Structure 1
Amino acid sequence: MAASKIMAEQAPLLKAADVIQFAAYKQDPDGFAGLQIADEKVLLWWSGDVPAPFKSTVEQARTIAPVEIQNSAHSEKQLTAAADQLEAAVGLRAGGPAHTILISAIGSGVRVLTTPGSRINGLRTPDVGVPVEFKEAPPAQTMSRCNDASPWPGGIGYRNSSRSLTGGPCVDNASETHTCSAGYGVKNSAGTTYLLTARHCGMVGDVMKDSTGETIGTASVGNRSQDVMLIRATIRPYVWDGGSTSASLRAVASYGNAPVGTSLCASGARTGTTCSYTVTEWRAHFLTGGITMVRPCRARALRWRKRAALQETL
């Protein structure tokens, strides 16, 4: 089925999922594990009993699309706490072999990714109270919209001028390099505007420039565990569409959650727009380098729904 048709069919399900997800952000309930789209319904994964205040949210979502509550073994909070312990014990910063930790969006457990060839037999890990599995996988590699101007749209290639990072050449000028792709533009409740991007592309205070040397802005906010960073910049509500040398832009309409099962498109500086992605159960808890899947609810620097990219708020 064409990606556009799948996205159109998922639209009411995503709207219902947004009602639940944003309530979870606001209420921060202990039992919430995640959301999934499957079998033409929204699945709400929950550990324990759903409290009465949140049940009213579920009923509100059910006026938009079918919602079914599923029992999960563990909550998002439990898995996040477990991931924090594992990072401190076996992450690269602690001298261990783990480069990425994934947490299940349906509450089943955590998955630790290590570089192929890592010696994990006999590896001492703490008892984190949830199922833990190890899997060898190489760290994902950085994969052009090379020359734009302020106000900045999403999907452009940029380089970190504050650090000696190197990227691939922009396809329209082999002498130009970029290190990362910018996500769509966002603004906070005070009206301050930013470009959303990945935290592993730099540090707060780093100055980001396009591939021709024009300054985009300075990284102002960063969250390593969610791999999110905000570049303070003037923005316009568009995202580059089409191939890496395309002159086509797609307007930003709204924002929303991307639960498990959501069909997505990606707009990257090197790859252009590519579709037929689907959000899986596993989402990255922390990164140490390279581009990998980020938590789709909160950090979609390189992922966007055709119906929903972000302009209004974080």
Structure 2
Amino acid sequence: MSSRQWVAAVTGALIITSVVLAPTGSAATPARPSLDEVTLSAYSTQDVITSLKPAERKGYSSIRIDDASRKVEVRWKGKPSGELLRLLRQKHLADDVVMLPAVYDQKELKAAVKAVMQAGPAEVQVNGATLARQDIVAAGPRTDGSGLTLRVAALALNKVSASRATAERSEPSAEGTLTHSARTFPVDISPAADIQPAVSRDEAPTEGGHVIHLNGGTCTSAFNVYNAAGKLRALTARHCGAKGSVVSDSNYQPFGVVETSNTAHDVSMFDNSRSSMRFSPTVVGGGSHNALWQTTYNVRHGMSVIQGSPVCVSGAYSGERCMGLVTQVAMTVMVAGNLVDDLYWVRSVPYKEATVANTLAGPGDSGAPVYVKVAYGDTYRAAPVGILSSTYGAIYTDRCPANNITFGSKRLCSSEILVVDLYEAMQSIGADEIYTVN
């Protein structure tokens, strides 16, 4: 994939201070930065970390935006590399980053996650009892790099936990240990709610956010990209349709065929058989199927997702929803019977039962584009970060948007979603670049 597609979110003179990069001299206390400023600083810091050679990145654990302190927290096992510190000083990044210690690095945590989710040589013990692999629904690193967090079937958790597990509880219901490669990792365990693919804008899907039909189901088109041969293609979720599936528009007229797909990253890439219509470097926040919003954004360069970052999702049926916050990254989750890697968890803010005000997704939204809105003059551009894979803990309710589409008297909606990391998904299918505006 072309490196031009994943660039720093901002450039210019920003200054960083932290426990490692202490400022010299005294200065006036700066004004509290806005959410956008802190988020952009985090993306710029992530870009510096990504640019490091493997040896210089050794020990890196995680990066997140702490909403309470309004700081960018970077976790590192051991002493951060001198090259990292040099680049941070050279880039003059802003007074927002705090370097914190981590018990495990990212490589160790990812290996432990894969071991437990792929029935490898790993064992999870809770109160002296062993959890079966089939009872573990999702796994990922703790936010502070000190171990793992697991989502486990409530009935199985009740057997090993002193407290009754309920899917409404957000705090850990039990603590345990994971043994992998002769190492022991602390584990937080919470009950898992149902994980559902969000399978259900009229017009042909030439831009992200439109209705598409595959295999009798309804989904949403994501971003447009170039394949390895330099041909324009479009993305959606693999569980909507695998390689060879016919893609139809909202009127059930054939539009293209899925050229390639990848189950482990829940992504499919399809072509356009209509010579009279070209793919567009845009995503739509509204359309004929969507009575809630009507706008179109030009697509800019992609970003790497960061925990604590605000994101938008634009499902063909739920419309553009911009109250999402990334709460966990690098998750491996069982979706529609398949293990999907490199997912990140997004929760609406404020989090509560699904309502019109805070619903993120529901039926018909699978494959939707997930992006960060970046100010550009008097408008916004969409910086791609992911593809909607599934909803978490969805409930049938009449209090969420259906965009004039009847799903009976109620619709399966959720305030939590699972999103495929766009960079990893594109790599898995050989997509070379995102189609962006100049």
Q: TM-score range by the shorter chain?
A: 0.7 to 0.9
Looking at structure 2, the residues matched to 64 and 32 of structure 1 have their Cα atoms a distance apart, in angstroms, of: 20
The 10-residue stretch of structure 1 (212-221 or 19-28) with the greater mean CA deviation from structure 2: 19-28
Normalising by structure 1, we get a TM-score of 0.74
Residue of 281, 285, 303 corresponding to 1:241: 285
Q: Residues 51-200 of structure 1 correspond to what in structure 2 (within 5 A)?
A: 51-63=81-93, 66-89=96-119, 96-118=134-156, 121=159, 127-128=179-180, 129-143=184-198, 146-149=201-204, 152-161=206-215, 166=217, 178=218, 180-187=219-226, 191-200=230-239
Equivalent residue letter for 2:207: P
C-alpha deviation, 1:68, in angstroms: 2.5
Equivalent residue letter for 1:117: L
Equivalent residue letter for 1:259: I
Looking at structure 2, the residues matched to 207 and 73 of structure 1 have their Cα atoms a distance apart, in angstroms, of: 48
Residue of 373, 381, 390 corresponding to 1:306: 373
Q: Indicate conservation of the 8 Å contact 2:207/2:279, yes or no.
A: yes
The 10-residue stretch of structure 1 (75-84 or 287-296) with the greater mean CA deviation from structure 2: 287-296
C-alpha deviation, 1:271, in angstroms: 0.9
Q: Indicate conservation of the 8 Å contact 1:284/1:295, yes or no.
A: yes
Query: Structure 1: which 5+ residue stretches go unaligned?
Result: 167-177
Normalising by structure 2, we get a TM-score of 0.55
Looking at structure 1, the residues matched to 141 and 41 of structure 2 have their Cα atoms a distance apart, in angstroms, of: 23
Q: Indicate conservation of the 8 Å contact 2:333/2:341, yes or no.
A: no
The 10-residue stretch of structure 1 (23-32 or 200-209) with the greater mean CA deviation from structure 2: 23-32
1:274 matched to 2:321: yes
Q: Structure 1 residues 279 and 268 mapped into 2: Cα distance closer, same or farther (>3 Å)?
A: same
Looking at structure 1, the residues matched to 56 and 248 of structure 2 have their Cα atoms a distance apart, in angstroms, of: 37
Q: Structure 1 residues 18 and 50 mapped into 2: Cα distance closer, same or farther (>3 Å)?
A: closer
Q: Structure 1 residues 191 and 35 mapped into 2: Cα distance closer, same or farther (>3 Å)?
A: farther
SS at match of 1:148: coil
SS at match of 1:236: coil
RMSD: 3.9
Looking at structure 2, the residues matched to 125 and 262 of structure 1 have their Cα atoms a distance apart, in angstroms, of: 29
Residue of 253, 256, 260 corresponding to 1:220: 260
Q: Structure 1 residues 145 and 29 mapped into 2: Cα distance closer, same or farther (>3 Å)?
A: same
Q: Structure 1 residues 144 and 294 mapped into 2: Cα distance closer, same or farther (>3 Å)?
A: closer
Q: Indicate conservation of the 8 Å contact 2:74/2:98, yes or no.
A: yes
> Between Structure 1 and Structure 2, how many residues are aligned?
288
Looking at structure 1, the residues matched to 53 and 235 of structure 2 have their Cα atoms a distance apart, in angstroms, of: 19
Looking at structure 2, the residues matched to 104 and 264 of structure 1 have their Cα atoms a distance apart, in angstroms, of: 21
C-alpha deviation, 1:26, in angstroms: 7.5
Looking at structure 1, the residues matched to 55 and 231 of structure 2 have their Cα atoms a distance apart, in angstroms, of: 25
Q: Indicate conservation of the 8 Å contact 2:109/2:147, yes or no.
A: yes
Q: Indicate conservation of the 8 Å contact 2:103/2:145, yes or no.
A: yes
Looking at structure 2, the residues matched to 24 and 220 of structure 1 have their Cα atoms a distance apart, in angstroms, of: 31
Residue in structure 1 matched with residue 344 of structure 2 by the alignment:
295
Looking at structure 1, the residues matched to 308 and 300 of structure 2 have their Cα atoms a distance apart, in angstroms, of: 21
Q: Structure 1 residues 227 and 103 mapped into 2: Cα distance closer, same or farther (>3 Å)?
A: farther
C-alpha deviation, 1:254, in angstroms: 2.6
Looking at structure 2, the residues matched to 116 and 98 of structure 1 have their Cα atoms a distance apart, in angstroms, of: 10
Looking at structure 2, the residues matched to 77 and 261 of structure 1 have their Cα atoms a distance apart, in angstroms, of: 21
C-alpha deviation, 1:188, in angstroms: 5.5
C-alpha deviation, 1:131, in angstroms: 2.0
Residue in structure 2 matched with residue 172 of structure 1 by the alignment:
none
Equivalent residue letter for 1:140: I
Residue of 262, 281, 306 corresponding to 1:259: 306
Q: If you compute each CA radius of gyration, which structure gives the higher value, 1 or 2? A: 2
Q: Structure 1 residues 80 and 193 mapped into 2: Cα distance closer, same or farther (>3 Å)?
A: farther
Q: Structure 1 residues 126 and 254 mapped into 2: Cα distance closer, same or farther (>3 Å)?
A: closer
Note the alpha carbon deviations across 1:174-216, whole angstroms, 9 max, x for none. xxxx1x3232223367534333333443434434333322324
1:210 matched to 2:249: yes
Looking at structure 1, the residues matched to 309 and 190 of structure 2 have their Cα atoms a distance apart, in angstroms, of: 24
SS at match of 1:53: helix
Looking at structure 1, the residues matched to 199 and 336 of structure 2 have their Cα atoms a distance apart, in angstroms, of: 21
C-alpha deviation, 1:223, in angstroms: 5.4
Looking at structure 2, the residues matched to 148 and 24 of structure 1 have their Cα atoms a distance apart, in angstroms, of: 43
Equivalent residue letter for 1:184: F
SS at match of 1:153: coil
Query: Structure 2: which 5+ residue stretches go unaligned?
Result: 1-32, 123-131, 162-175, 273-277, 346-366, 375-381, 386-431
